Structure 1
Amino acid sequence: MARTRVVRNGEGAVVAPWRVKSSGDLSDGRFDLMVGEVPYRSGPPLHRHEDQEDTFYVLEGVLTVQGDDEIFEAGPGDFVTFPPGVAHTFDNLEPGQPPVRVLNIMTPGGYDRAIAAFNELGAQMADLAKAQAVGKRFKVEIVGPPIHEKLG
């Protein structure tokens, strides 16, 4: 039987840089809901999800976002969603700006496991073959560099 779930401020598993408020494991696979802080020049490589819609709501700061070939800025209150198959990335590219606070929803859920697996790579994430091998396990394809590398 379904139960009400309450996750208080500061609670939830941490899968850097995200605090997982709900995961696919806790929502019967329906969604992940994560709150994260994106430090300066720390965003992920350009990637696309085979099955998942990746949605962002900016809480604080300015997030630079790329969807396919379009690059734009999203500020507090802005909502951005990428359907499955759309190449995308994001980053904090404002020098001196504190980490950008973002709400992230993945549907269906389970992507928190992929983030944990990518985190385990650490510096080896720069090895494209290793990163792509991890991505393949979670139906995500890395198709380009992080936006901070693209824009310099």
Structure 2
Amino acid sequence: MPAPDTGLRVNPAEEIIATKGLSIRFLLTGESSNGSVATFELTVPHAEGLPAPAHSHDHYEETIYGLEGVLRWTVDGAVIDLGPGEVLCIPRGAVHRFDNQGTQDAKALCVITPAAIGSDYFRETFAVINEAAGGPPDRARMLEIMRRHGLTPAPPPVAKA
């Protein structure tokens, strides 16, 4: 007799969203966790970084667990290198970004609690990045997408004289 279908699945939201080597592999979304958590793998090629402006979010924490390589995170001005087996919790309201300044690709597991952001945000921003065809993405469009999905873009850095 077959087991009853409970609706439980391994990686129920598996989807890969990618641009320029940067990829997001969603594993769990708010829809599949009653809104409690979203989880995705982030892969960043060497010498690449966050293609969107630094930002903060007031509605969720973002916990990053290093899997491969080293990602350099800047959180409220503090520089933190995160390697395999290390974890970083970015609190609500902290301005942050990441870069891979290493010689190998980096991979991290990202956990969003509660699941206030999902794959739609990454699909939309990566589309704008892809449309730029290697040039800088349309900043106004990126900022609009970020705000609509609950991210607060940080002001651009002030040039030093």
> Taking structure 2 as the reference length, what is the TM-score of the superposition?
0.78
Asked if structure 2 preserves the Cα contact closer than 8 Å seen for 1:118 and 1:125, the reply is no
Asked if structure 2 preserves the Cα contact closer than 8 Å seen for 1:131 and 1:142, the reply is no
Runs (4+) off by over 4 Å: none
The residue that corresponds to 2:100 in the other structure is 92
| Change beyond 3 A, Cα 1:79–1:145 | farther
| Change beyond 3 A, Cα 1:117–1:68 | same
Rg comparison, structure with higher value: 2
The residue that corresponds to 2:119 in the other structure is 112
Q: Deviations over 1:101-140 (max 9, x none)?
A: 1100111213322111111212286332221111111110
The residue that corresponds to 2:138 in the other structure is 127
| Change beyond 3 A, Cα 1:125–1:86 | farther
Q: Percent identity?
A: 29
Q: Deviations over 1:31-71 (max 9, x none)?
A: 11111211121324311112121110001111101101101
Q: Counterpart amino acid of 1:27? A: S
Q: Counterpart amino acid of 1:12? A: E
Alignment gaps of 5+ in structure 2 = 1-5
How many angstroms apart in 1 are the aligned matches of 2:29 and 2:67? 20
Deviation at 1:72, TM superposition (A): 1.9
The residue that corresponds to 1:13 in the other structure is 15
How many angstroms apart in 1 are the aligned matches of 2:50 and 2:87? 18
Q: Counterpart amino acid of 2:125? A: F
Asked if structure 2 preserves the Cα contact closer than 8 Å seen for 1:32 and 1:112, the reply is no
Larger mean CA deviation between 125-134 and 25-34 belongs to: 125-134
**Higher share of residues assigned helix:** 1
Corresponding residue SS for 1:126: coil
Deviation at 1:5, TM superposition (A): 2.2
The residue that corresponds to 2:8 in the other structure is 4
How many angstroms apart in 2 are the aligned matches of 1:73 and 1:51? 25
| Change beyond 3 A, Cα 1:134–1:125 | farther
* Residue 79 (structure 1) aligned to one of 56, 74, 87: 87
Q: Counterpart amino acid of 2:17? A: V
Bigger relative contact order, structure 1 or 2 (CA pairs below 8 A, ≥6 apart): 1
Deviation at 1:145, TM superposition (A): 5.8
